[in-house]
Amino acid sequence: MRDIDIKETRKYLSENNKVFVAAVKVQCPIYVFHISMMVKDNDPFYPVDWAIMHYVKQQPQTDVDYLSALIGMNSNFVQWRLVHLTQEDASLACNLNGSYFITNKGNRKYFDGERDEVKRDKQLALDGVTLDFLDEKIYAESHVMIRPYKAEFNPHMPLLGDADSNVMALLQKLEGLSSEQKKSLRFDESAHDFSVRNIEPKCLEDVEVVFSYDKNDSTWSRELMFKSQSVRISSMEGILNQFIFYIRDGILCTHQGYSDTSEEITSFYLKEIKMLISKRYEIKDYRNVKDDNIDYNNNPQGEASSYPLTINVTPALFEKADNRRLLLSDAINGEFIMPVSNGTGKKDIQSRSFKGVFIIPIKNSIEKEVDTYLAINKWLEEKGDIDYSFVQSYFSPDEDWRTMFLRLHCYEELEEIDNKRFIKE
């Protein structure tokens, strides 16, 4: 399964004056119809054959070398097309004296514009609940992932084969499509006489419910997206407002849309938020996470509330964390991306169908620790290792730099400095 592309989704939302908050992958039920139809023959050699036929009409005693030079084609290729037109297509015939003449079929096909029709097959994905067409953006994608549906989640409209009244109505709809509509569905414009060979219930990949904060009206909103593009799928519109997030045992979850419509996007309890923080940063007792470490709003009230949950890292919280390096990295980034579980305990569903992400911003009042940790990482990134010259360049002579390294849990870096300073190889 493709991971949620946060970068592209954020870019799209930003262009629409929105802030990305979260996203959840959803199973989008579809039916894949295997359809047959009649279309005008779109033989790619038709333009070449047309030129040959029009030359032959003027010059029945065909000079292949001259004709090849005239139309800019290899003579062997032109000879091959003449054989095809005579022996396979039957648009030409050859007299005993070696001259060609045009058959009735050739006149209809190359001079009257009556091209032959051929049977073509095509797969068409439709909404699995309503049998409506999907968004044009989905059909426009060159690579669309379709997978089998899971038995645990099967909302497909029941169909009784190709004789089903809903299928018959679909075939009538296809026959009535305009040329533009056919092009949007990737049909040949000449397609007609549709029939159904097979129908398969499937699920469309890469569909997400995306949560964002709209700066224009200071509200949270939900929209359906496919590969970082906003799309409309009729069967999904009615359940968008039913997706919310909650926390259970320190894990961020979504209930998969099985709830009554809610104006909010989260349902967090203070204790559960504290457990989430304590689990992430390895704080032994969740009660060590204080109320002032949390900003939680489940109703937006202006720009400051664009995110439902923000963590405030205070010196006291920093001291209680065993995983300080992760905390410092989050503080440097200003946020962390929290993975979302479906909360069912079924690993196969969690990994394939309901994976999501939730953005949690970080504020901090430990500027010295954050700045020092950032400086250490930049030094390592630029130089590849660390030694006492970093201490001399960053800390003042009277600073207890060793204690700072210990507080930051930079034990390996401290050991590397000491080894290079005191141990001779």
pLDDT in single tens digits along all 425 residues of the chain: 456 788 999 999 999 999 999 999 888 899 999 999 988 877 778 888 889 889 998 888 888 888 889 888 898 998 999 998 898 888 899 887 888 889 988 888 888 876 677 888 999 999 999 999 999 999 988 778 888 776 555 678 888 877 889 999 999 999 999 989 998 888 888 899 999 999 999 988 889 999 999 988 888 888 999 988 999 998 888 778 778 888 988 899 887 655 555 667 888 999 999 999 999 999 999 999 999 999 998 877 666 678 999 999 999 999 999 999 999 999 999 999 999 887 655 443 334 344 789 999 999 999 999 999 999 999 999 999 999 999 999 999 999 999 999 999 999 999 999 998 888 64
3-state secondary structure of 211: strand
**Residue 2 DSSP one-character state:** P
How many CB atoms are closer than 10 A to CB 183? 14
How many Å apart are CA 290 and CA 284, to the nearest integer?
13
Q: Are 222 and 240 in contact (CB under 8 A)?
A: yes
First to last CA, the chain: 50
CA–CA gap between residue 148 and residue 132 (Å, rounded): 19
- pLDDT for residue 367: 96
pLDDT at 45: 82
Per-residue pLDDT at 325 = 97
**What are the helix (H) ranges across 208-289?**
234-237, 270-281
117 beta partners: 40
3-state secondary structure of 206: coil
Stated as kind and residue range, the H or E segment containing 38 is strand 28-40
Q: Read off the pTM.
A: 0.77
- Confirm or reject CATH 1.10.287.1080 for domain 42-110, answering yes or no: no
156 sits in the region (left: phi over 0; alpha: psi -120 to 50; else beta) called beta
Residue 321 to residues 85, 262, 365, Cα–Cα distance (Å): 81, 35, 15
Q: Say what the pLDDT of residue 152 is.
A: 54
Type of residue found at 233: I
- Strand 335-340 versus strand 356-364 pairing type: antiparallel
- The single residue listed with the structure tokens 């992430």 is 280
Round to whole Å and give the CA distance between 321 and 313. 10
Residue 40: the pLDDT is 80
Q: How far is Cα 304 from Cα 375, in angstroms, rounded to an integer?
A: 29
For the chain, residues classed under CATH 1.10.10.10 are 42-110
